[in-house]
């Protein structure tokens, strides 16, 4: 069941009790979120059913389009900054042609998935939390459950699919734009020809870099879906609560993405 009874706690007796309660609630909420997302994965097999495909398609579209503009700008400048920073250092050794590799590898492994995830969390994730939160507050979720429409299948699963599929695709896009941005800076500021830049890039970047990056993007998509849907469903206290859920979604997904991103890099490269 997704609708929970309103909770009420007496004010804590002391600091110790207050901290303890927070920790316990955080553990319980993490558990709830994980159970919810596990259930959503189980429902993925019905994604093409008559009851779900329309919503799933819409979420794919929405997730893909919603942040495309911002992603383009951010990706462009990430590539440009990377090229400029490393290029200026490398120039001291006459090695500026190597910015091709530097930019490409950094984009593929780290910056591509990371930047994409941050932007998607802030735009799509917050929108999901706001929408689900509003539905909780206006009793729409309760109404769905009473109609025996499972909110996890009906609402979470399509959003999970949207994020899971679109995050890697958007990341490829970010990578391409970033690498092109790097090439532009290399050409205009550092005097590296486009030919040399792309030669250098393709010579040293490995397929593994791309795959690990895309795997990261996929995991980040799942994280954003989990955090956003859980925060949305956990909304209490009217319109104010919806604002709170949105803010928490952004903060919690940023932190989780950072930590899990580090762990994945650690797993594959150390």
56 contact partners, CB below 8 Å, separation of at least 6: 47, 48, 157, 158, 161, 162
Q: Is 53 in the site for another protein (CB under 8 A)?
A: no
Q: Is 266 in the site for another protein (CB under 8 A)?
A: no
In 3D space, the residue among 114, 112, 31, 43 whose CA is nearest the CA of residue 79 turns out to be 112
In 3D space, the residue among 91, 8, 58, 51 whose CA is nearest the CA of residue 161 turns out to be 58
Q: Is 5 in the site for another protein (CB under 8 A)?
A: yes
Nearer to another protein, 50 or 266 (CB): 50
CB of 181 to another protein, least distance (A): 36
Q: Is 10 in the site for another protein (CB under 8 A)?
A: yes
Q: Is 154 in the site for another protein (CB under 8 A)?
A: yes
Q: How far is the C-alpha of 173 from the C-alpha of 62, rounded, in Å?
A: 16
Considering only 72, 85, 91, 140, the residue that binds another protein (CB under 8 A) is 140
Q: Where do the H-state alpha helices sit in 92-156?
A: 99-106, 112-120, 126-137, 140-146, 151
Q: How far is the C-alpha of 173 from the C-alpha of 169, rounded, in Å?
A: 6
Nearer to another protein, 26 or 143 (CB): 143
Considering only 149, 194, 258, 259, the residue that binds another protein (CB under 8 A) is 149
Which residues here bind another protein, judged by CB under 8 A?
3, 5-6, 8, 10, 51, 134-135, 138-140, 142-149, 154
């Amino acid at each position: 069941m997704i609708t929970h009874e309103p909770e009420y706690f007496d004010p804590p007796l002391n600091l110790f009790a207050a901290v303890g309660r927070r920790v316990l609630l955080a553990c319980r909420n993490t558990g709830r979120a994980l159970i919810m997302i596990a259930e959503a994965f189980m429902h993925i097999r019905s994604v093409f059913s008559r009851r779900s495909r329309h919503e799933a398609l819409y979420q794919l579209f929405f997730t893909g389009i919603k942040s495309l503009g911002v992603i383009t700008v951010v990706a462009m400048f990430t590539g440009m900054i990377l090229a400029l920073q490393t290029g200026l250092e490398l120039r001291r050794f006459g090695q500026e042609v190597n910015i091709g590799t530097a930019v490409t590898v950094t984009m593929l492994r780290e910056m591509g998935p990371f930047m994409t995830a941050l932007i998607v969390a802030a735009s799509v994730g917050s929108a999901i939390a706001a929408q689900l939160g509003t539905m909780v507050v206006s009793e729409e979720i309760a109404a769905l459950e009473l109609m025996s429409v499972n909110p996890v299948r009906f609402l979470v699963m399509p959003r999970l699919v949207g994020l899971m599929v679109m995050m890697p695709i958007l990341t490829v896009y970010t990578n391409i734009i970033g690498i092109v941005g790097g090439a532009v800076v290399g050409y205009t500021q550092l005097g590296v020809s486009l030919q040399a830049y792309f030669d250098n890039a393709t010579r040293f970047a490995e397929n593994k870099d791309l795959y690990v990056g895309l795997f990261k993007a996929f995991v980040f998509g799942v994280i954003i879906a989990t955090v956003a849907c859980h925060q949305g469903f956990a909304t209490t206290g009217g319109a104010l609560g919806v604002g709170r859920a949105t803010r928490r979604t952004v903060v919690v997904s940023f932190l989780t993405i950072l930590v899990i991103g580090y762990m994945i890099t650690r797993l594959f490269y150390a």
